[in-house]
Structure 1
Amino acid sequence: MTPEDRFPGPEHPHSGPRHQPDLDVLPYGTYYEPEPATGYQGAPYDAETYSGYGGARYLEQHWPVDGQDHGHTVHAQGTGTDHGPVDQSAVFSHQGQGPGDYEDGYETAGYEGGYDAQDHPGYEPTLPDQPSPALQLADRDDPPTIELGPPLPDPAAPTYPYPAPGPGEPPGPVYVVGDVHGYLDELRAELHHQGLIDADGHWSAGRARIWFLGDFTDRGPDGIGVIDLVMQLAAEAAAAGGYCRALMGNHELLFLGAHKYGDEPVQSTAGTASFLAAWRLNGGQQNDLERLEAHHISWLSRLPAIGLEDGHLLLHSDTTAYLEYGESIPDVNDAVHGVLADGGVDEWWDCFRRFTKRFAFRGDAGPTAVHELLDTYGGSRIVHGHSPIPYLTGAVHADDGQPPHIPGPYVYADDLAVAMDGGVTMEGRLLVARLPI
């Protein structure tokens, strides 16, 4: 029996025209195209802007970009290709909902031009007339049970005899990496282009520092491969006197929740749902879940939610929800780790829901929201992923049907915020950039 036979979803009629975004409320910002780096000899650099799309696939292919909103059949594709079987078919159909994280559809505001929950505190929109069977899975095997344990060292792994930094020697440059979403080949290509890894995929950046902004899995073909690469680079960077670190994104919370809780019901504002249902609706790849091992779980569960590096406040999500978890960076990270270690399914779901909110930094109130976070946690500028740049700028509505042009990170909110999600899942670009921008 195929997954689509096991998990059928109801069909909905055409839902009418989609509400177009009011471009006047979108942020006025600029794209950053990097200049060649100077003064650092740890890696080669190139003056040209890398703009190849790398074959990234628009997974949300059932969402039209011609201004029409159809009854959407959302396919969470199981192979990461256009030809493989899907894990589930389920349907979302309502006014104002745009492509992207489908958890937004029943937990926060609609995408572009819809009601923005960030601007209306206390508002918890729900899907109109959404039947709960679309979010309930039945008649399935239990997800695999994986015991936690320490990472197992690879005896065949090469060693890297890089020298440690000398006393008083300044640290290397800082790089940030936007949402990867399983696009391992694109990640390798961009890291190599930036001179951060060699042709064999090993660390070549000396004492450079890299921060991944979260969302390693879902939608793309090889989320576990992405996690393995980041873990490998973390070890190699440490041996070279640099480091490779990562933040926890909302998709890490979703992926771990799908493994831990499976079909266990949770109470959402749209009715009873489950982590596994939400994960599938958001592009969860069954091959990632099947390859998830104890050392992946242990590493993902310890990722911080916030980081601060050279005056840059690093977040995954463009939301002020972090303020609800503490008044300092350690407090927030400890609170999130506490939820993952000891919280129940509803507390875990609430954490996932809060960090799925977006667009807090756009519009006239955006700079105020940024200042609220900076005044609390420190730093002079926020760098975030989560919200694809094409949705922040409205570039997703290109009339010629071409992929969105993303020349680089997007700076907005009075130059206080830098968006790093280049929209690789929608034929945009996987962004790697050196700070400051």
Structure 2
Amino acid sequence: MTPEDRFPGPEHPDSGPRHQPDLDVLPYGTYYEPESAPGYGGAPYEAETYSGYGGARYLEQHWPSDGQGHTVHAPEQGQEFPHQDHPVHAPEFSQQDHPVHAQEFAQQDHPGYEPTLPDQPSPALQVPGRDDPPTIELGPPLPDPAAPTYPYPAPGPGEPPGPLYVVGDVHGYLEELRAELRHQGLIDADGHWSAGRSRIWFLGDFTDRGPDGIGVIDLVMQLAAEAAAAGGYCRALMGNHELLFLGAARYGDEPVQSTAGTASFLAAWRLNGGQQHDLDRLEAHHISWLSRLPAIALEDGHLLLHSDTTAYLEYGESIPDVNDAVHGLLADEGVDEWWDCFRRFTKRFAFRGDAGPTAVHELLDTYGGTRVVHGHSPIPYLTGAVHADDGVPPHIPGPYVYADDLAVAMDGGVTMEGRLLVARLPVN
């Protein structure tokens, strides 16, 4: 049985041609990539990647299945999620974190509902100067037929959390994202949250290269509100393309000093696949939401990052320190400091090669967790599949586990005709 038989993906609509090159570049074509380890390049590199470089291997050996060759997806309505030994913490809905108004989910404002009052006012209503106003029992609010419904109630005290999912780099491919979320049972046919108490983390890079980056951001913001109302949550990390996009909007052509010479955020954004229609549609609530995204998170022992770099260590010795440092920089610092942050989080490949496990341990020992899960570096580049000469699109059956099983790569290379990945954790 082939991997495609075991883990078939959804049929994706055609979103147009993919943009090359896929790796992020500085103006003048300088790649943010360290020196290659011995053995990289050509057939020897490919052989070492699959067998020797940290025991890397594809998901055929990791993807959870039901024992009959079928991928395990979210449970149907009425079924229970597998038990996990973690107390649940019902997420608090914050308009600061989720700029979708909570009132959209309230069921208290119902035009046309009028209480029935008595024919004659009560004596209390006729007493002039009375201190306490009358209390009239209106009864429970009428249900709003237009309000969304969810298959699961909010979790109660002591209930375990729902299953945990991660989403790799989307880069504006909205229809591919909808198809994959639907395939995993996380949204319904209308694009609304249908996963109850499930938890989703997007690993960053919503925009650039693909056709509808703002549409992707709008969908994630919508799902964040709907998931909170259903007792789950949908959260996201800040990727280097969020820094680049926000920098292009804020600083435009203002010069910055880079290692490749004088450049600007706008020039770098365009060079890395920036789409003008995304910038034209960027609104204040998008900027507010993107600017507050965390750079790093820890969930169920998984250290979630966007970039496969140790540059996070330069911003703090704890997860709150790193996130506070990045948020403070975006709020108060100037263009050169912002550019330096973008430059650091655009580095890649720290977990590849013989030194990869050591680099992962640096992060895990500092921030906690037992495994790193990241996006940023497309799996075809990590494995060498991008160098195929036959023109066939890279084969991406699922997430890529490497660095002695300490790292999981989630960027399936959707921008290069690979695959937009959504996976349930743990991958084992």
- TM surpasses 0.5: yes
User: 8 Å contact 1:390–1:404 — kept in the other structure?
Assistant: yes
Tell me the distance in 1 between the aligned counterparts of 2:414 and 2:97: 33
Tell me the distance in 1 between the aligned counterparts of 2:189 and 2:35: 39
Tell me the distance in 1 between the aligned counterparts of 2:287 and 2:269: 16
- Residue 198 of structure 2 is matched in structure 1 by 208
In structure 2, give the amino acid aligned to 1:293.
E
Tell me the distance in 2 between the aligned counterparts of 1:321 and 1:264: 25
| Equivalent of residue 258 in structure 1, options 245, 248, 257 | 248
- 1:177-223, CA deviations, whole angstroms, 9 ceiling, x for partnerless residues? 00000000000000000000000000000000000000000000000
Corresponding residue pairs, total: 328
Q: What is the SS of the residue equivalent to 1:277?
A: helix
Query: Cα distance, 1:267 vs. partner?
Result: 0.2
Q: Is 1:159 matched with 2:83?
A: no
User: 8 Å contact 1:266–1:349 — kept in the other structure?
Assistant: yes
- Residue 301 of structure 2 is matched in structure 1 by 311
Unaligned runs of 5+ in 2: 41-95, 106-145
**What does 1:312-391 align with in structure 2 at a 5 Å threshold?**
312-391=302-381
In structure 2, give the amino acid aligned to 1:244.
C
Greater Rg over alpha carbons, structure: 2
User: 8 Å contact 2:10–2:180 — kept in the other structure?
Assistant: no
| Equivalent of residue 292 in structure 2, options 302, 306, 309 | 302
- Identical-residue share of aligned pairs (%): 81
- Residue 196 of structure 1 is matched in structure 2 by 186
Tell me the distance in 2 between the aligned counterparts of 1:159 and 1:341: 36
User: 8 Å contact 2:100–2:222 — kept in the other structure?
Assistant: no
Tell me the distance in 2 between the aligned counterparts of 1:414 and 1:292: 41
Tell me the distance in 1 between the aligned counterparts of 2:15 and 2:375: 18
In structure 1, give the amino acid aligned to 2:199.
R
Q: Is 1:55 matched with 2:55?
A: no
Query: Cα distance, 1:159 vs. partner?
Result: 3.3
Tell me the distance in 1 between the aligned counterparts of 2:395 and 2:342: 30
Structure 1 pair 353–58 and aligned structure 2 pair: CA distance change class (3 A): farther
Query: Cα distance, 1:430 vs. partner?
Result: 0.1
**What does 1:21-420 align with in structure 2 at a 5 Å threshold?**
48-50=7-9, 52=11, 54-55=13-14, 57=16, 59-61=18-20, 99-103=22-26, 105-106=29-30, 108-109=32-33, 151=99, 153=101, 159-160=147-148, 162=150, 163-420=153-410
Structure 1 pair 249–406 and aligned structure 2 pair: CA distance change class (3 A): same
User: 8 Å contact 2:376–2:411 — kept in the other structure?
Assistant: yes
Query: Cα distance, 1:312 vs. partner?
Result: 0.2
Query: Cα distance, 1:398 vs. partner?
Result: 2.0
Structure 1 pair 232–172 and aligned structure 2 pair: CA distance change class (3 A): same
Q: What is the SS of the residue equivalent to 2:401?
A: strand
| Equivalent of residue 426 in structure 1, options 394, 411, 416 | 416
Query: Cα distance, 1:102 vs. partner?
Result: 1.7
User: 8 Å contact 1:149–1:294 — kept in the other structure?
Assistant: no
Q: What is the SS of the residue equivalent to 1:411?
A: strand
Structure 1 pair 247–33 and aligned structure 2 pair: CA distance change class (3 A): farther
Structure 1 pair 345–279 and aligned structure 2 pair: CA distance change class (3 A): same
Query: Cα distance, 1:347 vs. partner?
Result: 0.2
In structure 1, give the amino acid aligned to 2:241.
H
User: 8 Å contact 2:15–2:175 — kept in the other structure?
Assistant: no
Q: What is the SS of the residue equivalent to 2:179?
A: helix
Tell me the distance in 1 between the aligned counterparts of 2:16 and 2:308: 24
Tell me the distance in 1 between the aligned counterparts of 2:212 and 2:34: 28
In structure 2, give the amino acid aligned to 1:308.
L
Structure 1 pair 151–208 and aligned structure 2 pair: CA distance change class (3 A): closer
Structure 1 pair 112–251 and aligned structure 2 pair: CA distance change class (3 A): farther
- Residue 137 of structure 1 is matched in structure 2 by none
Q: What is the SS of the residue equivalent to 2:263?
A: strand
Q: What is the SS of the residue equivalent to 2:267?
A: helix
Tell me the distance in 2 between the aligned counterparts of 1:199 and 1:313: 32
In structure 1, give the amino acid aligned to 2:186.
L
User: 8 Å contact 2:257–2:336 — kept in the other structure?
Assistant: yes
Q: What is the SS of the residue equivalent to 1:106?
A: coil
User: 8 Å contact 1:208–1:243 — kept in the other structure?
Assistant: yes
Tell me the distance in 1 between the aligned counterparts of 2:98 and 2:290: 12
User: 8 Å contact 1:107–1:353 — kept in the other structure?
Assistant: no
Q: What TM-score does the superposition give when structure 1 sets the normalisation length?
A: 0.70
Unaligned runs of 5+ in 1: 1-31, 35-45, 64-98, 117-147
User: 47-56 or 320-329, which moves further after superposition?
Assistant: 47-56
Query: Cα distance, 1:166 vs. partner?
Result: 1.5
- 1:159-187, CA deviations, whole angstroms, 9 ceiling, x for partnerless residues? 34552211211000000000000000000
User: 8 Å contact 1:53–1:427 — kept in the other structure?
Assistant: no
User: 332-341 or 399-408, which moves further after superposition?
Assistant: 399-408
- 1:17-47, CA deviations, whole angstroms, 9 ceiling, x for partnerless residues? xxxxxxxxxxxxxxx979xxxxxxxxxxx96
Q: What is the SS of the residue equivalent to 2:280?
A: helix
Query: Cα distance, 1:112 vs. partner?
Result: 7.5
Tell me the distance in 2 between the aligned counterparts of 1:177 and 1:100: 19
Tell me the distance in 1 between the aligned counterparts of 2:267 and 2:160: 48
